[in-house]
């Protein structure tokens, strides 16, 4: 009986095992997907503590970090940052406004735009879970030395760029 082998998922020799198989590559893809799934899980746990959903927590963090940037945190900017559509940010932000965690202000420099900011309560809620955030992240990235951490940061930054090229025609 002939054993059909699944397609080899990569062709660059740098990414293949010595024998031309893709075991290491596939393990890497699996690990990256698992790590991504776990990041979301951790995020959901933190979100629950402050009474919001995972995506809402992601929006809160994005606003927290973008509100002091030049231009501030607009709906569209947050959407791009989180890789989701504009309308999704609109509806979720409206829920956060209702919960008094985020405020919406007209953008004085652009009559179409709004500026999103955390309310005092929003700031307080995030400050309150800082210990949990630190514990989670320290654990998540626990095995990394400073050197490895920087190596990973560098590799991830480069992948972030190259992956954009891979998206506009067709991984596993």
Q: Which residues bind DNA (CB under 7 A)?
A: 44, 53-56, 74-77, 83-91, 93-94, 104, 107, 110-114
Considering the complex, what minimum distance in angstroms separates the CB of residue 112 from a second copy?
27
Q: Which of DNA, a second copy, none interacts with 121 (beta carbon under 5 to 8 A by kind)? A: none
Q: Which of DNA, a second copy, none interacts with 112 (beta carbon under 5 to 8 A by kind)? A: DNA
Q: Please, which residue, 95 or 129, has the CB nearer to DNA?
A: 95
Q: Which of a second copy, DNA, none interacts with 138 (beta carbon under 5 to 8 A by kind)? A: a second copy
Considering the complex, what minimum distance in angstroms separates the CB of residue 76 from DNA?
3
Considering the complex, what minimum distance in angstroms separates the CB of residue 170 from a second copy?
4
Burial label for 82, CB within 10 Å (0-12, 13-18, 19+), is: middle
Q: Please, which residue, 110 or 154, has the CB nearer to DNA?
A: 110
How far apart CA 83 and CA 110 sit, in angstroms, is: 23
Q: Please, which residue, 97 or 129, has the CB nearer to DNA?
A: 97
Q: Which of DNA, a second copy, none interacts with 3 (beta carbon under 5 to 8 A by kind)? A: a second copy
Considering the complex, what minimum distance in angstroms separates the CB of residue 53 from a second copy?
14
Which ranges of 50-145 does DSSP label H, i.e. alpha helix?
Answer: 54-66, 75-82, 86-98, 120-128, 130-140
Residues 101, 60: contact at Cβ < 8 Å? Answer: yes
Task: Write 80-89 long-range contacts (CB < 8 A, 24+).
Answer: 82/55, 82/58, 84/55, 88/55, 89/59
Residues 149, 51: contact at Cβ < 8 Å? Answer: no
Residues 93, 102: contact at Cβ < 8 Å? Answer: yes
């Amino acid at each position: 009986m002939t054993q059909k082998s699944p397609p080899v998922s990569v062709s660059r020799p740098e990414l293949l095992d010595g024998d031309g198989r893709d075991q290491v590559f596939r393990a890497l893809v699996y690990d990256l997907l698992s790590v991504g799934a776990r990041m979301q899980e951790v995020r959901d746990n933190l979100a629950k503590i402050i009474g919001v959903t995972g995506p809402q927590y992601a929006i809160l963090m994005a606003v927290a970090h973008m509100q002091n940037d030049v231009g501030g945190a607009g709906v569209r900017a947050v959407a791009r940052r989180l890789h989701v559509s504009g309308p999704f940010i609109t509806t979720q932000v409206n829920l956060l406004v209702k919960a008094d965690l985020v405020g919406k202000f007209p953008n004085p420099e652009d009559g179409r735009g709004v500026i999103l900011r955390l309310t005092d309560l929003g700031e307080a809620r995030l400050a309150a879970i800082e210990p949990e955030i630190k514990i989670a992240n320290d654990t998540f990235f626990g095995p990394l030395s400073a050197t490895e951490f920087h190596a990973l940061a560098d590799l991830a930054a480069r992948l972030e760029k190259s992956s954009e090229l891979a998206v506009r025609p067709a991984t596993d």
